[in-house]
């Protein structure tokens, strides 16, 4: 039977990702955040999935937005936690507290970079992780998250 309950996905970006397009383009590419979000929004809309978008440079604001997502009944989160990937117990705890399923994405291949980027505070509790494909990491992450939620969401 066809499902008629629309999925709601929150796309989250951590610190310095508002600088995409300007910031180290050799690592992060030339697309800015609006362009990345627009593409994700279109892909999601084509799959009848609702999206909302949030970028912040402050850890606590990201935590607050995850709590808000729980209140709003968000089904899944696509997150590039940026530098907080490697440090944030608070974001990890917010995701655990809300039990919202999420996919972690990175533009760069963090494993080809400095050793402090090799550890993620989130990967072991994520549905999956996609890194190293530039903005395509977000596209792949969104596709994977939608497929997962469509297969598992209770109607
Ligand atoms: C990043 C990788 C992080 O190590 C870094 O701090 C970022 C971006 C990425 O998308 O490749 O800000 O998450």
DSSP the chain: ----PPPEEEEEE-TTGGGTTTS-HHHH-S--HHHHHHHHHHHHHHTT-EEEEEE-SSHHHHHHHHHHHHHHT--EEEEE-GGGGGT-HHHHHHHHHHT-EEEEEESS-GGGS-GGGS--SSGGGSSEEEESSTTHHHHHHHHHHHHHHHHH---
Residue from 56, 82, 126 to probe ligand 1 pocket by mutation (most atoms less than 8 Å from CB): 82
Q: Which atom of ligand 1 is nearest to the CA of 84?
A: 6
Asked if 153 contacts 75 with a C-beta cutoff of 8 angstroms, the reply is: yes
Beta bridge partners of 129: 104
84 is catalytic: no
Band the pLDDT of 4: cuts 50, 70, 90.
Answer: low
pLDDT at 2 over 50: no
Q: What Cα–Cα distance (Å) separates residue 55 from each residue in 48, 61, 149? A: 23, 9, 23
Angle at 155 between CA 54 and CA 81, to 5 degrees: 20
> Ligand 1 center to residue 154 CA distance, Å?
33
Provide the β-strand partners of residue 54: 12
Q: Is 51 near ligand 1, meaning CB less than 6 Å away?
A: no
Average pLDDT on 15-30 reads 96
- Pick from 53, 36, 8, 47: which is nearest to 106 by CA? 36
Sequence-distant (6+) residues with CB within 8 A of 6 are 48, 49, 50
Residue 129 scores a pLDDT above 80: yes
Task: Check pocket membership of 135 for ligand 1, CB cut-off 6 A.
Answer: no
What predicted TM-score, i.e. pTM, was given to this entire model?
0.96
Q: What is the pLDDT of residue 153?
A: 77
pLDDT tens digits, one per residue of 88-126: 999 999 999 999 999 999 999 999 999 999 999 999 999
Does residue 28 carry a catalytic annotation?
yes
Question: Which pLDDT value is given to residue 1?
Answer: 42
- Comparing 49 with 154, which gets the higher pLDDT? 49
16 in contact with ligand 1, CB cutoff 6 A: yes
Average pLDDT of the residues in 125-135: 98
Q: 34-91, pLDDT tens digit by residue?
A: 999 999 999 999 999 999 999 999 999 999 999 999 999 999 999 999 999 999 999 9
Cα(1) to centroid(ligand 1), Å: 41
């Amino acid at each position: 039977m066809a499902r008629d309950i629309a999925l709601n996905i929150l796309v989250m970006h951590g610190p310095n990702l508002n600088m995409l397009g300007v910031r180290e383009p050799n690592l992060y590419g030339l697309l800015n955040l609006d362009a990345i979000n627009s593409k994700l929004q279109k892909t999601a809309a084509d799959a009848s999935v609702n999206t909302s978008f949030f970028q912040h440079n402050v850890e606590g604001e990201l935590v607050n937005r995850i709590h808000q997502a729980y209140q709003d009944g968000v089904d899944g989160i696509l997150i590039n936690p940026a530098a907080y990937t490697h440090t944030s117990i608070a974001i990890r705890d917010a995701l655990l507290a809300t039990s919202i399923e999420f996919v972690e994405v990175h533009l760069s291949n963090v494993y080809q970079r400095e050793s402090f980027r090799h550890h993620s505070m989130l990967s072991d509790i994520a549905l999956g992780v996609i890194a190293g494909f530039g903005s395509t990491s977000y596209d792949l992450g969104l596709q994977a998250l939608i497929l997962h939620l469509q297969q598992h969401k209770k109607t």
